[in-house]
Chains A and B, each alone.
Chain A
Amino acid sequence: MAAEAVVAAVDVGMTVEQIKATQIGFKAIAASIAVGSTGIASAIAETAIGSAAVGATAENKDVFGLVLLLTVIPETIVIFGLVVALLLLFV
Chain B
Amino acid sequence: MLEPKQMSRLLIAASRDQMAPVIAELYRHNLFHIEDYVDAGAEGYEGFKIGTPLSGASEKSADLVKIRAIANTIAVHADDVDAKPSCSMDELHTKIERDLPSLEREVEELTARRLKLEMRAKELEQKIAEITPFADIPVDMNLYHGYQRFTTIAGYISREVSLYVPHEMHLSKGKDRNFLVVIFPTEQKGEVDKALAEAGFQPVPVPEESGSARGRIEFYSGETAALHKEIAEINRQLGDVKQKHAAFLVACEELLKAEVDQTEAPLRFATTKQTFVAEGWVPVDKVAAVTNSLVYVTEGKVFVTVVPTDFEHDKVPVEYNNPDFAKPTQVLMDVYSRPRYTEIDPTLMISIVFPLFFGLILGDVGYGLILLAMTFGLRKFIKGVDGQYMLDVLRNASISSIFFGLLYSEFLGFAIPGLKPVLFSRHMMAEAAEGEAMASHGPMIPELIILSVWIGILHVTLGRILGILNHARQDHGEHRIKAMLANFGWIAVMWGLLVVIWSIAPMPLMPDLTGLPAVVSIINIGGIAGIVFAVLGILLIARDSVLEVVELPTIISHVLSYARIVAVGFSSVAIAMVINFMAVGMLIEPQLENFSIFSIFIIIAGLVVFLLGHALNTVLGILGGGLHSIRLHYVEFFTKFYKGGGVKYIPFGMKRRFTED
Residues of chain A whose beta carbon lies under 8 Å from any beta carbon of chain B = 65-66, 68-69, 72-73, 75-76, 79-80, 82-83, 86-87, 89-91
Q: A69-B631, A87-B446, A90-B443 are in contact. List 12 more A-B contacts (CB 8 A).
A: A65-B335, A65-B336, A68-B627, A69-B630, A76-B561, A79-B567, A79-B568, A83-B563, A86-B443, A86-B566, A86-B570, A87-B445
Report A-chain residues with C-beta under 8 Å of the C-beta of B449: 83, 86-87
Q: List 15 A-B contacts (CB under 8 A).
A: A66-B336, A69-B336, A69-B631, A75-B628, A76-B557, A76-B561, A79-B563, A79-B567, A80-B563, A83-B449, A83-B560, A86-B449, A86-B570, A90-B442, A90-B443
Q: Knowing A90-B443, A91-B445 are in contact, say whether A76-B567 is a contact too (CB < 8 A).
A: no
On whether the beta carbons of A69 and B563 are closer than 8 Å, the reply is no
Flag whether B571 is at the interface (Cβ < 8 A): yes
Q: Knowing A65-B335, A69-B635 are in contact, say whether A79-B561 is a contact too (CB < 8 A).
A: yes
On whether the beta carbons of A82 and B443 are closer than 8 Å, the reply is no
Q: How far is the CA of A89 from the CA of B561 in the complex (A)?
A: 20
Distance from B358 Cβ to chain A, minimum over Cβ atoms (Å): 15
Closest residue of chain A to B634, judged by CB?
A69
Residues of B327-369 at the interface with A, using a CB-CB cut-off of 8 Å, are: 335-336
Report B-chain residues with C-beta under 8 Å of the C-beta of A82: 567, 570-571
Residues of chain B whose beta carbon lies under 8 Å from any beta carbon of chain A = 335-336, 442-443, 445-446, 449, 557, 560-561, 563-564, 566-568, 570-571, 627-628, 630-631, 634-635
Distance from B232 Cβ to chain A, minimum over Cβ atoms (Å): 32
Closest residue of chain A to B428, judged by CB?
A90
Report B-chain residues with C-beta under 8 Å of the C-beta of A89: 445
Report A-chain residues with C-beta under 8 Å of the C-beta of B630: 69
Report A-chain residues with C-beta under 8 Å of the C-beta of B560: 80, 83
Q: Knowing A66-B336, A69-B635, A73-B635 are in contact, say whether A83-B627 is a contact too (CB < 8 A).
A: no
On whether the beta carbons of B568 and A73 are closer than 8 Å, the reply is no
Report B-chain residues with C-beta under 8 Å of the C-beta of A66: 335-336
Q: How far is the CA of A80 from the CA of B557 in the complex (A)?
A: 9
On whether the beta carbons of B335 and A76 are closer than 8 Å, the reply is no
The one of B445, B563, B571 in contact with A90, judged by C-beta atoms closer than 8 angstroms, is B445
Q: Give the residue among A66, A72, A89, A91 with the most B Cβ atoms within 10 A.
A: A72
* 10 cross-chain pairs, A with B, having the tightest CB-CB distances, nearest first: A65-B335, A90-B445, A82-B567, A79-B564, A83-B563, A86-B445, A79-B567, A83-B567, A91-B446, A76-B561
Q: Give the residue among A73, A79, A89, A91 with the most B Cβ atoms within 10 A.
A: A79
Distance from B565 Cβ to chain A, minimum over Cβ atoms (Å): 10
Report B-chain residues with C-beta under 8 Å of the C-beta of A79: 561, 563-564, 567-568
Q: Give the residue among B336, B446, B563, B635 with the most A Cβ atoms within 10 A.
A: B563
Q: How far is the CA of A90 from the CA of B557 in the complex (A)?
A: 22
Distance from A33 Cβ to chain B, minimum over Cβ atoms (Å): 16
Q: How far is the CA of A87 from the CA of B445 in the complex (A)?
A: 7
Report A-chain residues with C-beta under 8 Å of the C-beta of B442: 90
Report A-chain residues with C-beta under 8 Å of the C-beta of B335: 65-66
Report A-chain residues with C-beta under 8 Å of the C-beta of B564: 75-76, 79
Distance from B551 Cβ to chain A, minimum over Cβ atoms (Å): 16
Distance from A63 Cβ to chain B, minimum over Cβ atoms (Å): 10
Distance from B434 Cβ to chain A, minimum over Cβ atoms (Å): 22
Closest residue of chain A to B335, judged by CB?
A65
Closest residue of chain A to B564, judged by CB?
A79
On whether the beta carbons of A72 and B563 are closer than 8 Å, the reply is no
Q: Knowing A79-B567, A83-B563 are in contact, say whether A72-B446 is a contact too (CB < 8 A).
A: no
Closest residue of chain A to B633, judged by CB?
A69
Q: How far is the CA of A82 from the CA of B567 in the complex (A)?
A: 6
On whether the beta carbons of B568 and A72 are closer than 8 Å, the reply is no
Report A-chain residues with C-beta under 8 Å of the C-beta of B628: 72, 75
Closest residue of chain B to A78, judged by CB?
B567
On whether the beta carbons of B567 and A73 are closer than 8 Å, the reply is no
Report A-chain residues with C-beta under 8 Å of the C-beta of B634: 69
Q: How far is the CA of A72 from the CA of B393 in the complex (A)?
A: 20
Q: How far is the CA of A39 from the CA of B564 in the complex (A)?
A: 14
Closest residue of chain B to A91, judged by CB?
B446
Report B-chain residues with C-beta under 8 Å of the C-beta of A69: 336, 627, 630-631, 634-635
Distance from B135 Cβ to chain A, minimum over Cβ atoms (Å): 42
Closest residue of chain B to A73, judged by CB?
B635
Q: How far is the CA of A86 from the CA of B631 in the complex (A)?
A: 22
Closest residue of chain A to B635, judged by CB?
A73
Q: How far is the CA of A65 from the CA of B560 in the complex (A)?
A: 24
Q: How far is the CA of A66 from the CA of B627 in the complex (A)?
A: 11
Report B-chain residues with C-beta under 8 Å of the C-beta of A76: 557, 561, 564
Q: How far is the CA of A83 from the CA of B449 in the complex (A)?
A: 8
Distance from A34 Cβ to chain B, minimum over Cβ atoms (Å): 11
Report B-chain residues with C-beta under 8 Å of the C-beta of A87: 445-446, 449
On whether the beta carbons of B566 and A83 are closer than 8 Å, the reply is yes
Q: How far is the CA of A91 from the CA of B630 in the complex (A)?
A: 29
Distance from A79 Cβ to chain B, minimum over Cβ atoms (Å): 4
Report A-chain residues with C-beta under 8 Å of the C-beta of B568: 79
Closest residue of chain A to B570, judged by CB?
A86
Distance from B497 Cβ to chain A, minimum over Cβ atoms (Å): 18
Distance from B424 Cβ to chain A, minimum over Cβ atoms (Å): 12
Closest residue of chain A to B334, judged by CB?
A65
Q: How far is the CA of A66 from the CA of B333 in the complex (A)?
A: 11
